[in-house]
Amino acid sequence: MRPIWVALGVLTAAALLLGVAWFAGAFSRVLPLEAPEGVRLTPLRSISAFESWVLLKLLGVDGIPVSYTVDCYRMEYSAVGHNGATMRLSGLLALPRGVVARRLVSFQHGTTTTRSAVPSKPDGTGIATAIAFAGNGYALVVPDYPGLGVSEGRHPYYVAEAIGPAVVAMIDAASHVKGVPDAPVFLSGFSEGGWASLAALRMLEEEGKAVLASAQVAGAYDLRHVSLPAALKGGSPSHSLYLAYAAWGQAAYYGRPLDSLLTPTYAKVVERVFDGATPEEIKAALPTDPRQLFNQEFLDAFDRGGSHWFLDTFAANSLVDVTPSAPVRLYYGSKDEDVVPQEALDAARAMRSRGADATAVDVGPVGHDPSMLAAAPLILAWLRELEGAD
């Protein structure tokens, strides 16, 4: 699921982070901020530089200095959905206090199955990314994604044409907020958010908009040929949850019956547990062997190289064919079982073969959750390096 950085994985540390953060921040008032047309800004809380230092120490994070108090706002904005309808979406906006922001950073969070466990709450993702980026002088947005936060409907898990536009729309909306600089955006994200960052990068560049760079951590990029086969082997306790979440979200998005993919029994289970159960309850309700989720038609298609709508959607939402103009770094932990290192290595190799500036970066022998903690100081250092050359 999500790391300490994003408040799932090591629950005790995350709860401590949130509890201390909220108690300390309750005495610091957020500065008012005027919202542009079509945007609603709700003050949430501020985080002092001292409080940020304490929180980072509690989590054992080194290499991230913090210079500024951070003001956090829930930002509500609109985007056009795949059916042409306007969606109301939400996310976190964080700004450094008392200084002109250096540039805008858009951070995309990892998997969450709970509508309210989102950056605009703010959850641990919102607090941690606000500290890391806004605390170092950057304006920051962290989208909640469609189907999460204030938006309606199911989350279209790993559907690029839904997630990419939502991220880009928040970047566009934030560009009209006073205090957000007019400079090429820097993209970053973890797990699902690594993939989402690449989807947003592709869309921004197709629209002719400049992107400074993109730094993904533990992202899945070749959904059809790397992610799906690895997940079906069940090497991680989370693989059944990931696959069930994708089945639930994509069946609704593409108008397919869930039992055209899952067994009748698990189709009913998945419909029930993704309608409000906790991540722990979801995992407990699903089989440890992910293949047991699926009906024989799908398994035969997968095993024999046949055709099935779920295989087609995984292929359509893979991003290994993206050729970015902006430099890209794909960070990974060599012990990651949730998202195998092959994802970053293969994607970087494929991008370079088409002339892109893409590098896979091994952050060490760590798993999925700790890889974000290991990558965070490296990402900040790279961002500063890019700005020096800008």
Q: Are 64 and 377 in contact (CB under 8 A)?
A: yes
Asked if residue 93 belongs to a domain, the reply is: yes
Asked if residue 228 belongs to a domain, the reply is: no
Task: Residue 359: give its domain's CATH number.
Answer: 3.40.50.1820
Asked if residue 341 belongs to a domain, the reply is: yes
Q: Are 202 and 13 in contact (CB under 8 A)?
A: no
Task: Give the residue numbers spanning the domain of 201.
Answer: 4-222+320-389
Is the whole-model pTM more than 0.85? Answer: yes
d(CA 283, CA 31): 41
> In terms of domains, do 324 and 312 share one?
no
> In terms of domains, do 334 and 201 share one?
yes
Q: Are 28 and 45 in contact (CB under 8 A)?
A: yes
Q: Are 243 and 232 in contact (CB under 8 A)?
A: yes
Would you call 248 helix, strand, or coil by DSSP?
Answer: helix
> In terms of domains, do 86 and 215 share one?
yes
State how many domains the chain has.
2
Last residue of a domain, one of 274, 297, 316: 316
Residue type, 88: R
Name the DSSP class of 30.
P
Would you call 105 helix, strand, or coil by DSSP?
Answer: strand
Asked if residue 291 belongs to a domain, the reply is: yes
Asked if residue 227 belongs to a domain, the reply is: no
> In terms of domains, do 22 and 108 share one?
yes
Asked if residue 335 belongs to a domain, the reply is: yes
> In terms of domains, do 122 and 265 share one?
no
d(CA 211, CA 192): 20
Asked if residue 355 belongs to a domain, the reply is: yes
Asked if residue 198 belongs to a domain, the reply is: yes
* Predicted confidence pLDDT, tens digits, the chain (390 residues): 443 334 333 333 443 444 544 444 444 688 889 999 999 999 999 999 999 989 888 877 778 889 999 999 999 999 987 778 899 999 999 999 999 999 999 999 999 999 999 999 999 889 999 999 999 999 999 999 999 999 999 999 999 999 999 999 999 999 999 999 999 999 999 999 999 999 999 999 999 999 999 999 999 999 999 999 999 999 999 999 999 999 999 999 999 999 999 999 999 999 999 998 999 999 999 999 999 999 999 999 999 999 999 999 999 999 999 999 999 999 999 999 999 999 999 999 999 999 999 999 999 999 999 999 999 999 999 999 999 865
